Structure 1
Amino acid sequence: MFEQLPSPESLARADDAAVVSAIEAFGRAENSAAAARLAAVAELMARRLFDDDDERDKWACDGWDSVAAEVAAALGLSHRRASGQMHLAHALRTRLPRTAAKLAAGAISLRTAATIAWRTKLVETSEALATIDAELAARAAGWGPLSDSRLDTSIDAVLDEHDPDAKLEYHVGARARDIQFGKPDDTTGTTSVFGSLTSPDATLFDRRIRAMIANICSDDPRTVGQRRSDAVGLLLSGADRLACRCGKSDCGGAGTDDRAGTVVIHVVAEERAVRQASTAMTRPARTPSNQAAPTETEAAPTESGEPDTGRRPAAVLQGGRVVPAPLLAELIATGATLRPLRAPDQAAEPRYRPSAKLAAFIRARDLTCRFPGCNAPAERCDIEHTIPYQRGGPTHPSNLACLCRKHHLLKTFWTEWAETQHPDASITWTTPTGKTYTTYPGSRAVFPNWDTSTAALPPAAKPAASDADRGLQMPKRKRTRRAEQAQRIKSERARNGSG
């Protein structure tokens, strides 16, 4: 299925031309592997979805979500990225078979195939789609490297010829606008923000930032870029004034930035890290120019008598992002509230909802949603009972874990999924096909000396007969996912045609 690829040893003996040829061969193999992976995803979808009589299609966590969860677990992806793979896999299998064949042969890249699938999503008739697929597959193999804009233009040229109403116009781009936080290559302690706004909103945003930094004097130590970044942070917290940091009492730009009291963020740190950060810099006087967003820092306990290795212990946000020692010191120096994190009681709590003390421990231990591949921050997750409370599951750390709302619904209502929590806080997930995946609390990686093990629990009771009706409690959609998508396509084509 795949061409023979050179080994690292043979590459070390090859000339430059042979090395470049090897890179091309690896690229073709990567595209072929992507095509095979997407074909497998499409096959799983065909077996699990598209049953018109499945009442679960109107569940808030529907069959698509169940399959996306299984794909996410198998590939180590987030739920959103797995869903994106499913959209592409389904399009290549059912709408664009010739484009899929070119991808499988390594003749076009995954990026090209994905762009074709996206930009042809409004084509409705099978005749037009077959013609467009055949023509794009033939042309794309000879396009060579193209920029994003040239690739879009090349695809649109074919659409304009065969189905003009299927072209993605302005309003489609506007509907796809979004703001995202974080990229894999972010520098520690910072998070990238990227996305799109409508042009008028972007203009207003830029003018607002310019106005906020206009009163900063020339002695402020920050660069213009840093000032703009701080101004955006202020706007996101609900404040609208950026204070100058020159430190001069007579500066016209001095004053409060109003972040204090607007938002609380949680940082989990080892006790040693807090001590080191507290002594790393002298705490300045609490003047308006150095106020910051309030932070609650929870100190994770460590083993007694642990030798000091000289390594700076980690601190993390709930969600897993690392807070470097200088930033932790700055947070403490500017007034963060320090709160020790206490181990929970060994006895179960006599209620369904965990106490604030127990909830703080669970969120600090887990840091993120405990479903495979999900990185939703613990502070935005539900604290759920692994063994349902209604079946005798105790409100105890060995039976509690953080799950985002989507995976909480999946675990609660999709009986094909099973979850087992162990005393060391690891969780084994069993998929509808019987595959098992084990996740560990996020604190295990950053706080290896923090023992979060808790008592073992008795096995779960057998489901009650009433459990068969649990789907009646699932939040419902007004329309199925397929009906919603069909309506969106119909609306977009109507707007294109009215232009």
Structure 2
Amino acid sequence: MFEAMPCDLAFQGVDDAGVLDRVTAAARAQNAHCARELAAIGELYARRAPDDDADRFNWAVDGHENVVAEVAAALGISRGRASGRLHYAIALRERLPRVAEVFAQGRIDFRLMAAVVYRTELIEDPELIARLDAAVARHAPKWMRLSGPKMAERIDMWVARIDPAGVRVPGMRSQDRRVEIGPISPGLAEISARVHPTDAAAVDRALDALADSVCRNDSRTKAQRRADAMGAMAAGLTVLRCDCGSPDCPAPQRPPGTNVMVHVLAEPAAVAGEACAPALLPGFGPLPTGSLRDLAGVAKTKPLSVPPDRAETGYRPSTALAEFVRFRDLTCRFPGCDAPADVCDIDHTVPFPLGPTHPSKLR
């Protein structure tokens, strides 16, 4: 039965690289096909649901609902799903034409397109949405490897940069800060906290440091050790007691550092209070302007320099180059990995010495 398969589904004589090429080509074709479908739905809407009909407010069913019904019938899907597709089609056609072009080229998928539409909906000024459309279209293909939260973080940063009022992140509400502790089952309790994002990042790093202070023979998972580290922090301990049971356990000889460093990225003018450009706390998204002002008064600031456009001679990047690469990438570059870049090793895209130690060739 498989002898009659189309040639593009037959893999006989195709090497592994060729199969991977087909995977990527099929993915791009699928993205482009979805974009064409939404473009057609958008065209149908433009023809069937004009906004200039003075009598439309007296209709029981308007043009929008008619298009939804037609799309649902044509595709054999529910009204809800058809309405969702029309929503994206209108957004791409009327608000995000540059993003629509990138989508039609197959360079981004439906997931990323939908995130862009949702996270930019609060921008109302046509000039601002046009600027955002151009910026996001330029950068979006590089966001394909990101997880959902990291993808939202990148989109929100561009929204905050162009129209701070359009970010789908509430401003800081100090009165909402709280910590709640209570039992959830025999032998277990739950701690829930709503704190400043910088404090949350510091606690996260401190828990990791304590959890990693045991030896490799500890029987607990990383999640369990982080939970146990809460008690160790409350007791003022700098190491977590290892449960390996060995009298020669090396863990007590290598306590973690007691200082926790949290990085926040911001434009110099924003740090100086001369502009309202957003700041970014990696892993937590844009910071409200008030938070940045508070931090600028007490935190140590350090300019991040852009390295020269020439390769370094050694295998290991200099401190300045490594710092630039980590702040540029923010997270691990492997698709879907959210590990912070400052705990990842920097590697050459092309193995050294064939690949130079240059910002564009490091990740």
TM-score above 0.5: no
Higher helix share: 2
Question: Which is higher, the Rg of structure 1 or of structure 2?
Answer: 1
TM-score, length of structure 1 as denominator length: 0.33
Give the TM-score normalised by the residue count of structure 2. Answer: 0.44
